[in-house]
Amino acid sequence: MDNAKEIKQGIKVHQIDTNKFKTNLFAVFLSVPLKRETITKNALITAVLRRGTNDMPSQQQISEKLEEMYGANFDCGIEKTGDSHTLKFYLEAINDEFLPEKENLLKESIDILFDIIFNPLVENGKFKEEYVQGEKQNLKQIIESKIDNKASYALERCIEEMYKNKPYGLYKYGYIEDIEKISSQDLYNHYIDLIKNCKIDIFISGASLNNVIDIIQNNEQIKKLNDRTPENIESDVTKEKIEEPKYIEESMQIAQGKIVIGLDILSEQEDVYYVGSVYNTILGGGSNSKLFQNVREKASLAYTCSSSYIKRKKNIIIRAGIEISNYDKAIEIIKQQLEDMKNGNFNDEDIENAKKLLISSIDSIDEEQDTEITYYLGQELGKTNISINEYKEKIQQVNKEQILELAKTIQINTIYFLKD
């Protein structure tokens, strides 16, 4: 279970005690609302911070330091969770109990991670010019290569159309046209503002973490941080009824057509998160699902056909890879599955199979430290605070009436088709 303690206003430490691993995993998340004007800068900051600190001015020195710590690992990235944009930093190191001699690797790991995030290399009151220019090029390549993976490109495009001019429609790495305008000074000013105002969540997963809160509270970088009232990052899940779905078609040189269909869940029922999970699993969440069986297996219309659930936004996304000539037929059969769900054409066995599949995936959450941390971060950002066991109970309690009620409120928001 995640034990959370607020050490300053807007800054929380979450401790996950577990004996399953020989390593401790430390993670820091800086969360702010998704905004067009800051999204590219946030993505750039994550990359620039890993390049060097005032104490270790180059990536080489950071790597050497980690190597001395029995090959500790550092990683960072950027995530979009609901309507929040989160800068993520991880450090994994061997638990002190497994070291050949007595050392305080726990404290050292925390100090280094905080050093990278809160004590970046600054020259003449701004980020090092060379690092910023280098990372601008890297970020540009990441954004440009979005088009290389056609399946994920189609998914991004569908979400962008569903959420046009809304935060969730933004691309987590930002926009090429913004990169050019960002100077080292602009970026550093934005960084100072970010550190002062963002919501900070510090996670530690591992064993023998007795004095970890003290170590964090006494860290020099943490002492410098101020109390804050972070901007609201709760997800907007208000859905309006729409008369006609949006149809978007794009052409590219591809061998296989990509269909992405975005669905809205209009249901306001209390346990909509959990009911939605079971509904989605019956619809397209595995090899027993309606989409897989009817679109792929029986009709042989798709190479792949499945659905996924974006809980934080009350959306279900259907994805299919098809022969381009099969488009009309595939859409027809997919719509038929949605109708079948509305008409209650699923039985107790379907519900049980879906629950088993969900519970086996929930059971695997705490088998990886980063998965468990991600789970509890989601709970924190969504203000839900449901333990893994409670989550399983909630899934078990879902019944056919609830699924049926939810199915009747599903509407197609957008149909996106990528063809040649």
CA 305 – CA 292 distance, rounded (Å) = 6
- Residue given tokens 């046009």 in the structure block: 164
Which residues partner with 403 through β-bridges?
Answer: none
Supply the DSSP string of 33-66, one letter for each residue: E--TTTHHHHHHHHHHHTT-BSSS-SHHHHHHHH
* Amino acid letter for position 259: I
What does the domain layout of the chain look like in residue ranges?
A: 2-224, 246-419
Determine the topology of domain 246-419 in CATH. Cytochrome Bc1 Complex; Chain A, domain 1 (3.30.830)
Fold agreement between 2-224 and 246-419:
yes
**Residue 111, token pair as written in the block:** 């100090």
Are the C-beta atoms of 261 and 317 separated by less than 8 Å? yes
pLDDT at 1 (0 to 100): 61
Sign of CA dihedral 341, 342, 346, 347: positive
Are the C-beta atoms of 246 and 413 separated by less than 8 Å? yes
Q: pLDDT tens string for the chain (420 positions)?
A: 668 999 999 999 999 999 999 999 999 999 999 999 999 999 999 999 999 999 999 999 999 999 999 999 999 999 999 999 999 999 999 998 888 887 789 999 999 999 999 999 999 999 999 999 999 999 999 999 998 999 999 999 999 999 999 999 999 999 999 999 999 999 999 999 999 999 999 999 999 888 899 999 999 999 999 999 999 888 888 889 999 999 999 998 888 899 999 999 999 988 999 999 999 999 999 888 899 888 776 777 767 889 999 999 999 999 998 888 889 999 999 999 999 999 999 999 999 999 999 999 999 999 999 999 999 999 999 888 899 999 999 999 999 999 999 999 999 999 999 998
**Residue 318, token pair as written in the block:** 């259907």
Prediction pTM value = 0.94
pLDDT at 293 (0 to 100): 87
Are the C-beta atoms of 76 and 50 separated by less than 8 Å? yes
Which residues partner with 383 through β-bridges?
Answer: none
CA 413 – CA 262 distance, rounded (Å) = 6
pLDDT at 106 (0 to 100): 93
Domain 2-224, CATH: 3.30.830.10
**Long-range contacts, 34-37 (Cβ 8 Å, 24+):** 34/80, 34/83, 34/84, 34/85, 34/167, 34/168, 34/170, 35/85, 35/167, 35/170, 36/170
Backbone conformation region of residue 385, classed left if phi is above 0, alpha if psi is from -120 to 50, else beta: left
